[in-house]
Structure 1
Amino acid sequence: MKGATLTRADLCEAVHEEVGLTRQDCAGLVERTLDLVAEALEKGETVKLSGFGVFQVRDKRARMGRNPKTGEPAEIEPRRVIGFRASQVMKARIDRALGG
């Protein structure tokens, strides 16, 4: 990984180096994995990756907010959002890495 952001290309390269498959096969593997996660979330399913965390779709109800330009009240439509909750293992790992 070169920068502060992990990209699909970085994931593909890491899989290529670890597993030894061709870069094309690794790219397909990473894409399929991400597709499976996305498909599950589209269906409203929870995605639990042991030792990593849980992705979950939540329904947010309509609520009143404010137009930031005018300050007038404005209704915010109901929507679905994706939440992520890191596992205790991941939290501990990050805490150790950041010197906490």
Structure 2
Amino acid sequence: MVKEELIKEVTERVRKRTRERVKKEVIAAAVDETFSVIVEKVLAGNKVRIRNFGTFQLKKAGARLARNPKTGDEVQIPPREKFYFTPSRKIRFLEER
């Protein structure tokens, strides 16, 4: 699913749930702003927990050795932070089914 499909699906569900004609542009703006807030807060060092969905956070990845695929030379990869998503127990339980 791409973002446009997500927006379409959310628009249909909101219209069905509220029985109101909600513009697709309004839903698109809400989806965009939701993603923006999550990214901004995580990059600022905060965890973003969405109940029954999961947690977005930065995790430290240590330095490691890798190989250049063309030359086979070893290359040192410096430590960095990675953007992680950890699904909630409810989501993990649904995955197991």
If the TM-score is normalised by the length of the shorter chain, which range does it land in? 0.7 to 0.9
* Identical counterparts, % of pairs: 31
In the other structure, the counterpart of 1:92 is 93
Q: Deviations over 1:19-77 (max 9, x none)?
A: 22110101111111111111112112111111111111012232333323333221112
The one-letter code sitting in structure 2 at the alignment partner of 1:73 is E
Aligned residues: 91
- When structure 1 is superposed on structure 2, of 22-31 and 63-72 the one drifting more is 63-72
Cα distance in structure 1, aligned partners of 2:67 and 2:6:
40
Superposed structure 1 runs of 4+ greater than 6 Å apart: none
Partner of 1:54, secondary structure, is: strand
The one-letter code of the counterpart of 1:48 is R
Q: Give 1:80 shift.
A: 1.4
2 CA distance for matches of 1:66 and 1:90?
36
User: What is the TM-score when the length of structure 1 is the normalising length?
Assistant: 0.78
For normalisation by structure 2, the TM-score amounts to 0.80
Which residue does the alignment assign to 1:45?
Answer: 46
- Structure 2 portions without partners, runs of 5+: 16-21
Cα offsets for 1:6-25 (capped at 9, x unmatched): 22112211221122211010
